[in-house]
Amino acid sequence: MILCGVGGQGILSIATIIGEAATKAGLHLKQAEVHGMSQRGGDVQSNLRLSTDEIYSDLISKGGADVIISMEPMESLRYLPYLGKDGWIVTSSKPFVNIPNYPDEAALQAELKALPRVSQLDIDAIAKEVANPKAANMVLLGMAAPYIEIVSVEQLREAIRTVFARKGDAIVESNLKAFDAGVAHK
C-alpha cells in the first residue's frame, strides 16, 4: 500500500500502527519512508508492503498497490500509476492548499469520482466530532482498514492500543473512537 499526504500530516503514525499490527501477526514487512527536506510542507509518501512470504523490493512497482491511503485528495492521485486494477483509494476529501497552482477542486473531485473504487471522507470534521482534530489520521486508518485484508480490524485496534499506550488511556480511547468512526464509514 502507499501512504501519502503533505509533510507533517501524520502519515508515518499510520504506518507505525499498521507495522505494529503486521509484526505482531508475524508478517513480513518493508516500509520505505521519506525523510529530510521533503518533510517541509512538500508531498510525502511511504511504500508499505506486507506479506506472508519474503519481500524483496522496498518499493512498490507500477500497478502493484492494493490501496492508496491519503491524507489529501490531490496527493492520492499522484500515486495512481502504482494502484492495481482492483485497488482502492482511501482519502481525506479536504484539499490542503499550500501551493499557488493547486488544481481546480471540481475537476479534481470529478476525476476522483470517475475512478472505480474510491472512499472519501472529511476526516478532519469527523475527528473533531468524535475525538480531537489530531486524530484525523486514525479516522483515515479506520476507513482503510477493510481494504488492508492481511491484518484484521481487531488487530489494528490492538496496535493502536499498543502504540499509544505510553500516552495514557485518554489518548488511546480518543484514537480508537476516531478509528471506529472511520471503520463505520464503510
Partner 1 sequence: MEKILLLGDEAIALGAIHAGLSGVYAYPGTPSTEITEFIQNNATAKERKIHSRWCTNEKTAMEAALGMSYAGKRALVCMKHVGMNVCADAFVNSAVTGVNGGLVVLAADDPSMHSSQNEQDSRFYGKFALIPILEPSNQQEAYDMMKVAFELSEKLQEPVLLRVVTRLAHSRAAVEVGAQGDENAFNPSTGRGWVLLPGIAKKQYAALLEKQPLMLEAAENSPYNRNEKSGTKLGVVACGIGYNYVKEAIANFKIDGINLLKISQYPLPENKILDLAAECEEILVVEDGQPVVETDVKTIVGDKATVIGRLTGQLPRTGELDPDSVSKALGYETQSPLGIAKNLAGRPPQLCQGCGHRDVYTALKEVAAEYEGARIFGDIGCYTLGALPPFQALASCVDMGASITMAKGAADAGLFPSIAVIGDSTFTHSGMTGLLDAINDNSNITVIISDNLTTAMTGGQDSAGTNKFEAICLGLGVSPDHVKVVTPTPPNIPEIKRIIKEEIEYNGVSVIIPRRECMQTLMRHRKQAKKQ
**Binding residues for partner 1, per CB under 8 A?**
6-7, 19, 23, 28-43, 55-64, 74-75, 77-78, 80-85, 87, 98-104, 107-108, 111, 115
What amino acid occupies position 23? T
Nearer to partner 1 among residue 117 and residue 184 (C-beta): 117
Closest approach of Cβ 50 to partner 1, in Å? 11
Whole-angstrom Cα distance, residue 1 to residue 156?
15
Closest approach of Cβ 172 to partner 1, in Å? 17
Closest approach of Cβ 74 to partner 1, in Å? 7
Nearer to partner 1 among residue 99 and residue 170 (C-beta): 99
Nearer to partner 1 among residue 58 and residue 169 (C-beta): 58
Residue 29 belongs to what H/E stretch?
Answer: strand 28-32
Nearer to partner 1 among residue 58 and residue 154 (C-beta): 58
**Three cell numbers written together for 26:** 508475524
**Position of cell 507505525?**
16
Closest approach of Cβ 110 to partner 1, in Å? 8
- Rounded to the nearest angstrom, the gap between the alpha carbon of residue 127 and the centroid of all alpha carbons in its chain is 15
Whole-angstrom Cα distance, residue 100 to residue 7?
17
Q: Which of 172, 161, 96 is nearest to 131 (CA)?
A: 172
